[in-house]
Amino acid sequence: MEIRKTPIQDVYEIYPRIFKDDRGYFLETYKQDVFEKHGLPTQWKQDNQSFSEAGTVRGLHFQRGAFAQAKLARVVVGKVLDVCVDIRKDSPTFGKFHAVVLDAKLQNMLYIPKGFAHGFSVLEDAVFAYKCSDLYNKESEGGILWNDPELGIDWGVSEAVLSEKDQTWPTLKEFVKISGGGL
């Protein structure tokens, strides 16, 4: 398993070794000792999985306070553009984002620490799976507008299919005003 730093502090891309033969393939999607070696969470509390059709955008979501979540995201089937935005108010990369294509053929993953808004756009019909370091809590839920012009994220889809909720989140600038500076 190869863990690569990204330009955003504490965000990592993870590339597992894939063992292929005439029957198919095998890979390890999580290995506690490797995560511990890199200072990443090893006590996951919730696993989530969704199916989305191409063109769907989900996000940018986060959990506040005691329910803040680190995530380990991957694609089981298909391909997505996975995006995380640093909303930690004291971070040197506050307001910056990192985007990576997660592809079932590569089996690559993205580790997103607490204090980030997270979302993805579906480039090919996809089954998206992710581990969370804490449980979901409705009252702690928040979000940033997916197409905030100041963030300038190119989601790679021509007409985004969105939930009502994802169309109404505040921009990052509005979130900073509401929250007093970020998470």
Model pLDDT for residues 25-36, shown as the tens digit of each residue: 999 999 999 999
Number of domains in the chain: 1
The Cα–Cα gap between 171 and 51 comes to 26
Q: How far is CA 177 from the centre of its chain?
A: 24
Is 130 known to be catalytic? yes
| Residue 30, domain CATH | 2.60.120.10
CA–CA separation, 123 and 158 (whole Å) = 10
Amino acid identity of residue 29, one-letter, is T
Q: What pLDDT was estimated at residue 178? A: 86
pTM of the model: 0.93
Range of the structural domain that residue 39 is part of:
2-179
pLDDT of residue 42: 79
Question: Model confidence at 76, in pLDDT bands (50, 70, 90)?
Answer: very high
> Is 61 part of the annotated catalytic residue set?
yes
- Average pLDDT (161-173) is 96
- From 12, 61, 98, 111, active-site residue: 61
Element (H, E) at 138: none
